[in-house]
């Protein structure tokens, strides 16, 4: 086992929580029953790592086995690192007929054709997602397995999810994806997050985004309702309306766990009585960033509880409706009122 293989194995085992190591090693099926039994998972992590490495060397495991373990770990723990969404466009007529075998062959053939040293490994998960691990090299250096790119794609959908991709490799990956999926082009989806699960829920519409009916539950206020029946009914109607608006904008039930939304501003001043600012040729530029451990839940609560006035601004509801968390806000042009457009 060479130094690079040892390093990859070391990094993988170090990432796995002690409580999960045993199950993952069993699924890996590369260590014998006696070797698994000999491991003491209550020991410090560095001790466990050294024992696993020694067993792998004893079994003469190679890089193929180690990268397989790494992929298993990433598939079972998808919410790590920073994931970026891309959208395939201009689908060809036969794009819906692409099968897994055909996708694999064309994807690998293109990358092997443009890069001499590259390692590509694919796995199809139970949820029909294709997981791709790419270790990049070039015409002179071998693939770097310590910094692989991960790509996740569901066949016959227009979205691709990418993690840890260097700028110099982006064009090669995009070309391979376009060719293998039979599309005309691919573009940035303007959505990034640490949670691949949330990203897929949002873009593949796997969460409950429905407009509630007239019998939807009403939020309970901390304070007692006014005793007068007319005031009480009006208060209750306002509560229900706020709840309906929040559900329409951000979904009904558990929402995808996004952590940020970023708005980049490029606008002109359009106030009255200040010619100095109104006559400026340059844009006012700035960045507004919303952050929360669960941003959509926070926005949902702000609207439903009355902390934010309704109806919900399109700049916030666009997070779910357009599946993005990065927006550029610009003026529509000279002579137009101070409306802004999200690009």
Considering the domain delimited by 83-203, tell me its CATH architecture: 4-Layer Sandwich (3.60)
Average pLDDT for residues 133-155, to the nearest whole number?
92
- What mean pLDDT value characterizes the chain? 80
How many other CB atoms are found less than 10 A from the CB of residue 1? 19
Full-model pTM: 0.79
Q: Judge whether residue 154 has pLDDT over 60.
A: yes
- What pLDDT, on a 0 to 100 scale, did the predictor assign at position 214? 39
- What pLDDT, on a 0 to 100 scale, did the predictor assign at position 271? 62
Question: Among the listed ranges 84-93, 225-234, 236-245, 279-288, which one has the minimum average pLDDT value?
Answer: 225-234
Question: Among the listed ranges 107-116, 210-219, 311-320, which one has the minimum average pLDDT value?
Answer: 210-219
Label residue 70 exposed, middle or buried (CB < 10 Å: 0-12, 13-18, 19+).
Answer: buried
Q: Judge whether residue 226 has pLDDT over 60.
A: no
Q: Which of 2-11, 42-51, 159-168, 295-304 has the highest mean pLDDT?
A: 159-168
pLDDT in tens, 54-91: 999 999 999 999 999 999 999 998 988 899 999 999 98
Q: Which of 170-174, 278-282, 337-341 has the highest mean pLDDT?
A: 170-174
* 246 or 340, greater pLDDT: 246
**Residue 235 in contact with residue 225, Cβ under 8 Å?**
yes
Q: Which of 87-91, 283-287, 327-331 has the highest mean pLDDT?
A: 87-91
> Domain spanning 229-342 has what CATH number?
3.10.20.720
- What pLDDT, on a 0 to 100 scale, did the predictor assign at position 3? 83
How many other CB atoms are found less than 10 A from the CB of residue 278? 12
Structural domain boundaries in the chain: 3-76, 83-203, 229-342
Average pLDDT for residues 208-230, to the nearest whole number?
44
**Residue 306 in contact with residue 172, Cβ under 8 Å?**
no
Distance in angstroms (rounded) separating the CA atoms of residues 330 and 342: 7
Q: Judge whether residue 121 has pLDDT over 80.
A: yes
pLDDT in tens, 190-218: 999 998 988 898 888 766 554 444 333 33
Q: Mapped to the 3 state alphabet, what secondary structure does 100-163 carry?
A: HHHHHHHHHHHHHHHCCCEEEEEEECCCCEEEEEEEECCCCCCCCCCCCEEEEEECCCCEEEEE
Q: Judge whether residue 273 has pLDDT over 70.
A: no
- What pLDDT, on a 0 to 100 scale, did the predictor assign at position 187? 92
pLDDT band at 251 (very low <50, low <70, confident <90, very high): low
């Amino acid at each position: 086992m060479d130094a690079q293989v040892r390093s990859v194995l070391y990094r993988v085992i170090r990432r796995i929580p002690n409580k999960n190591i045993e199950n993952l090693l069993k699924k890996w099926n590369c260590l014998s029953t006696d070797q698994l039994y000999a491991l003491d998972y209550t020991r410090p992590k560095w001790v466990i790592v050294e024992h696993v490495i020694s067993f792998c060397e004893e079994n003469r495991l190679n890089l193929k086995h180690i990268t397989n373990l790494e992929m298993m770990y990433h598939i079972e723990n998808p919410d790590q690192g920073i994931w970026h969404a891309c959208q395939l466009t201009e689908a060809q007529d036969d794009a819906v007929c692409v099968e897994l075998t055909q996708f694999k062959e064309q994807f690998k053939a293109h990358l092997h054709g443009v890069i001499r040293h590259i390692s590509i490994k694919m796995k199809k998960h139970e949820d029909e997602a294709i997981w791709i691990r790419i270790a990049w090299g070039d015409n002179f250096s071998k693939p770097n397995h310590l910094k692989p790119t991960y790509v996740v794609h569901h066949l016959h959908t227009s979205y691709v999810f990418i993690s840890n991709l260097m700028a110099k490799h982006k064009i090669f990956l995009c070309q391979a994806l376009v060719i293998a999926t039979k599309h005309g082009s691919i573009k940035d989806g303007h959505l990034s997050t640490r949670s691949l699960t949330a990203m897929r829920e949002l873009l593949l519409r796997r969460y409950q985004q429905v407009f509630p009916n007239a019998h939807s539950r009403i939020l309970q206020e901390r304070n007692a309702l006014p005793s007068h029946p007319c005031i009480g009914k009006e208060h209750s109607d306002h509560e229900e309306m706020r709840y309906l608006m929040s559900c329409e904008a951000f979904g009904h039930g558990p929402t995808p766990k996004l952590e940020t939304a970023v708005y980049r501003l490029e606008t002109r001043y359009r106030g009255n009585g200040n010619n100095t600012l109104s006559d400026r040729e340059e844009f006012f530029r700035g960045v507004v960033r919303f952050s929360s451990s669960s941003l959509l839940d926070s926005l949902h609560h702000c609207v439903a509880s009355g902390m934010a006035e309704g109806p919900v601004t399109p700049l916030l509801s666009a997070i779910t409706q357009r599946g993005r968390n990065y927006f550029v806000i610009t003026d529509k042009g000279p002579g137009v009122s101070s409306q802004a457009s999200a690009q």
